[in-house]
Amino acid sequence: MQAKKEDTKEELLSYYRQMTLIRVFEDKTSEMYMRGKIRGFLHLYIGQEAIAVGCCAALEPQDYIVSHYRDHGHALARGMNSKAVMAELYGKSTGCSGGKGGSMHLYDASIGFTGGYAIVGGQLVIANGLALASEQLKENRVTVCFFGDGALNQGEVHEAMNLASVWKLPVLFYLENNLYGMGSYIERTHAGGRDVYKIADHYKIPAKQIDGMNVLEVRDATQEITANIRAGEGPFFLEALTYRFRGHSMADPELYREKSEEEDWKPKDPIVTFKGYLLDSGKVTLEELEDLEQSVESEIEDAVNYAEESPEPVPEDLFQNIYS
């Protein structure tokens, strides 16, 4: 892990705070789910924080993000208000989607966050549409489309990649390979094994694989790639290797992997390793990091209180934002 010379202390601390914010937020949503405050499906982002934070740090304000149903981390890293996200998980009217979307359908157009999508692989097609519109309107936007390894065998994924290549769309296909599609290990479901990024060769899309547990590597790779996309070089396929420390969803008993595997990955925890790097570099003090951690805890407590106190949607809301 290596920072750039131009990286300021404030920037590095912001990365640590954002990753910690996502982790504490997810831990709290897990607790609230078990207490019956949050219902429906809940897919946690614990372990993958470096990808969301590193990627969003490299994007411009006008860029689009298209996410999958494990979308809390992306939303928070992009700058969505934690109160609005928590209220959405509670199904309250003050949520970012008015309480209608829940965990898998966070949305905030003001920051270019175009939604989490529950149809596995379907978000790549939507990303192509946004990228095409951006190109025709000459808006200099890059569309970043996150998806997991479980989407790789969906037909629309390959259709979208092919079309993006043919039309040279300004889209970054961002694979978060956490090794498991629901409960199936990647090497049991995909012929390419762990080197998934090589599938982009078939569509003449440049691709690379990075360490998705290293926030600085993620940021640097995303900066370089998005600069090339803005220069008109067309789509890119980036595979970030990572690991989720919790099950596929809160309903997952995790009977398909050994506990020893998780223990092997714990030393690579992106928050732990980045904290160690910051302390070893002498750029920050332990007291400064602890102050940030405390501020995060306070923010999440405020978010829970906000969600608890917010009103439920009223029946009339059913007739808003519909076509007819």
The pLDDT of residue 75:
98
pLDDT digits (tens, 9 = 90+) for 190-227: 877 678 999 999 999 999 999 999 999 999 999 999 99
Measured in Å, how far apart are the chain's first and last C-alpha atoms?
53
Higher pLDDT, 182 or 233: 233
Are 223 and 210 contacting, i.e. CB atoms less than 8 angstroms apart? Answer: no
* HSE (side-chain half, CA atoms, 13 Å) at 21: 29
Backbone angles phi, psi at 76, to 5 degrees: -70, -40
Domain 9-306 classified CATH 3.40.50.970?
Answer: yes
The pLDDT of residue 187:
78
Q: Hey, what amino acid is at 319? A: F
The pLDDT of residue 66:
98
Q: Pick the closest to residue 304 from 118, 83, 11 (CA basis).
A: 83
Q: Pick the closest to residue 121 from 72, 66, 203 (CA basis).
A: 66
The pLDDT of residue 231:
96
pLDDT digits (tens, 9 = 90+) for 83-128: 999 999 999 999 999 999 999 999 999 999 999 999 999 999 999 9
Q: Pick the closest to residue 74 from 51, 91, 95, 90 (CA basis).
A: 51
pLDDT digits (tens, 9 = 90+) for 140-188: 999 999 999 989 989 999 999 999 999 999 999 999 999 888 878 777 7
What distances in angstroms separate CA 114 from CA 121, 122, 221, one per listed residue? 15, 13, 23
Percent of the chain with pLDDT over 90: 81
**Would you kindly state where each structural domain of the chain is located, as residue ranges?**
9-306
Are 169 and 234 contacting, i.e. CB atoms less than 8 angstroms apart? Answer: yes
The pLDDT of residue 3:
78
pTM: 0.95
Tokens of 67: 């996410």
CA separation for the pair 221, 208 (Å, rounded):
9
The pLDDT of residue 180:
85
For tokens 């999440």, name the residue. Answer: 300
CA separation for the pair 286, 289 (Å, rounded):
5
